[in-house]
């Protein structure tokens, strides 16, 4: 075991604070990573504030991790000391079920081991995420990061990037597609960039009129303020696929009605309470589908990172120090982040 500096929530109603955690002794297949940057996902906030239910405390969030390899086990072939490395939302899975066999570890039928808040197989302790100075991960769940990219701006791709890339691929978005993105936050702004890089025409739906210019600059060809009834009506029946990244319950029907026949509305946002809809007729009227999607598999995450490096896609980031995290959560809740906070892990206070 090695003591590691971290920052975590001691309980749902308490601010995050500095703490020391134990990282496991690296095994022969493990990669030890010194963390440089960690993105701040709204899932971190949902979890740290107990919005997704009972948890084992403390919680050390963070699953958009970029760092440098500090040690490798004797069986590790894909990484060497000094390499850049990424870790996303998962650090292990059963590796034997049908989903794992298809590279869909995020749908592991025996339960994937998530980067924080899961039981670590090797130790039986809770996994702790990227709000920490170092992490030890099996090589199969470590991603390669190009040395040519902006590391801080690449960190958010490890969750926001793959969560939007995976449904765009699954639903076969291409240059002829018309794609809607709901919400211009961390996921949404990366989703706009990736869909535009694929060549799709992108419509951004937002509750924040002040984000319209940014959305166009990021690659959206249309911006619809969702409170504008006339613009919402004009959008009806126009889109092939919509990815909905909103972190709070809302009426889904206007988005379903924005789909063409056979279109799909894919829910990515995971609010703590249910949405008040859909109305059946919004689905039946044009044989539409309502679906959901969870992050993406490890191979697909590498494919996404390579795609983004090739197309120059990174997140728009605001760097924060570790101790600013609660303030960052509050600003994220107020839709004030443009468009992803990234923690400079070099600012981590010492608790060891
Ligand atoms: N499915 C998955 O695998 C997966 C992966 C990662 C995250 N998530 C979930 O996806 C959601 C979004 O994550 P994120 O990190 O992108 O969050 P975020 O940065 O806070 O963005 C959410 C956006 O939703 C819009 N929004 C509209 N009404 C809102 C409201 N009442 N409260 C909050 N947001 C509202 C805002 O955009 P406008 O200002 O443009 O309206 C906001 O910027 C979260 O629920 C998160 O847990 C799911
Ligand atoms: Zn996330
Ligand atoms: Zn499995």
Same domain for 174 and 205? yes
Phi, psi at 62, each rounded to 5° = 115, 110
What's the half-sphere exposure (Cβ side, CA atoms, 13 Å) at 341? 27
Percent of the chain scored above 70 by pLDDT?
A: 100
Q: Which residues line ligand 1 (CB under 6 A)?
A: 41-43, 46, 159, 163, 183-188, 206-208, 211, 245-248, 268-271, 293-295, 332, 335, 337
Do 212 and 315 lie in a common domain?
A: no
Model pLDDT, residue 278: 83
Please report whether residue 147 resides in a domain.
yes
Q: Which of the listed residues 259, 274, 292 is the one where a domain comes to its end?
A: 292
Per-residue pLDDT, 88: 98
Q: Which long-range contacts (CB under 8 A, 24 or more apart) does 15-19 make?
A: 15/326, 16/48, 16/131, 16/325, 16/326, 18/322, 18/348, 18/349, 18/350, 18/351, 19/58, 19/60, 19/351
- The answer to whether residues 39 and 159 touch, using CB atoms and an 8 Å cutoff, is yes
Q: What is the pLDDT of residues 293-348, one digit of tens each?
A: 999 999 999 999 999 999 999 999 999 999 999 999 999 999 999 999 999 999 99
How many Å lie between the centroid of ligand 1 and the Cα of residue 347? 26
Ligand 1 atom closest to 270 (CA): 45
- 144 and 23 in a common domain: yes
Give the side-chain half-sphere CA count within 13 A for 289. 11
% of the chain exceeding 90 in pLDDT: 97
Residue 253 in any domain: the answer is yes
Q: How far apart are CA 250 and CA 248, in angstroms?
A: 6
Mean pLDDT along residues 207-218: 97
Return the exposure string of 222-237: e unless at least 16 CB atoms fall within 10 Å of the residue's CB, then b. bbbbbeeeeebeebee
Domain of 139, CATH number, reads 3.90.180.10
Verify that 67 and 45 share a domain, yes or no. Answer: yes
- Give mean pLDDT, residues 231-251: 97
What is the residue-averaged pLDDT of the chain?
Answer: 97
- Is 195 in the same domain as 261? yes
Domain membership of residue 245 (yes or no) is yes
Confidence of residue 54 (pLDDT cuts 50, 70, 90): confident
Any domain includes 248: yes
Q: For residue 310, which of 121, 183, 148 has the smallest C-alpha distance?
A: 148
Domain assignment present for 352 = no
pTM value is: 0.98
Query: What does the pLDDT average to over 141-159?
Result: 98
pLDDT in tens, 5-18: 999 999 999 999 99
Burial of 258 (0-12, 13-18, 19+ CB in 10 A): buried
- Output the residue whose Cα is nearest ligand 1's atom 33: 247
| Residues spanned by the domain of 247 | 161-292
Please state the rounded mean pLDDT for residues 190-214.
Answer: 98
């Amino acid at each position: 075991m090695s003591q590691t500096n971290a920052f975590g929530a001691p309980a749902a109603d308490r601010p995050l604070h500095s703490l020391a955690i134990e990282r496991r002794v690296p095994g022969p297949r493990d990669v030890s990573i010194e963390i440089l940057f960690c993105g701040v996902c709204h899932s971190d906030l949902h979890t740290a504030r107990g919005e997704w239910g009972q948890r084992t405390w403390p919680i050390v969030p963070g699953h958009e991790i970029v760092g440098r390899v500090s040690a490798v086990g004797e069986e590790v072939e894909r990484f060497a000391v000094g390499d850049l490395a990424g870790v996303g939302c998962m650090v292990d899975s059963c590796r034997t079920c049908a989903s794992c066999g298809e590279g869909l570890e995020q749908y592991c039928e025996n339960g994937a081991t998530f980067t924080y808040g899961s039981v670590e197989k090797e130790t039986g302790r809770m996994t702790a995420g990227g709000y920490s100075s170092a992490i030890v991960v099996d090589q199969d769940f470590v991603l390669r990061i190009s040395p040519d990219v902006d590391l801080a701006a690449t960190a958010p791709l490890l969750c926001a990037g793959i969560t939007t890339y995976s449904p765009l691929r699954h639903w076969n978005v291409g240059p002829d597609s018309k794609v809607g993105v709901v919400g211009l936050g961390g996921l949404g702004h990366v989703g706009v960039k990736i869909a535009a890089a694929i060549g799709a025409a992108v419509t951004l739906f937002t509750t924040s009129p002040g984000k319209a210019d940014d959305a166009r600059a990021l690659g959206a060809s249309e911006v619809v303020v969702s409170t504008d009834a006339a613009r919402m009506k004009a959008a009806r029946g126009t889109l092939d696929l919509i990815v909905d990244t909103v972190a709070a319950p809302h009426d889904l029907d206007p988005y379903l009605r924005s789909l063409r026949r056979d279109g799909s509305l894919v829910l990515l946002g995971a609010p703590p309470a249910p949405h008040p809809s859909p109305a059946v007729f919004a689905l039946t009227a044009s044989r539409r589908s309502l679906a959901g999607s969870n992050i993406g598999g490890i191979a697909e995450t590498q494919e996404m990172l390579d795609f983004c490096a090739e197309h120059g896609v990174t997140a728009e980031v605001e760097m924060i120090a570790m101790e600013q995290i609660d303030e960052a959560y509050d600003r994220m809740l107020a839709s004030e982040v443009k468009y992803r906070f990234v923690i400079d892990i070099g600012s981590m206070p010492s608790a060891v």
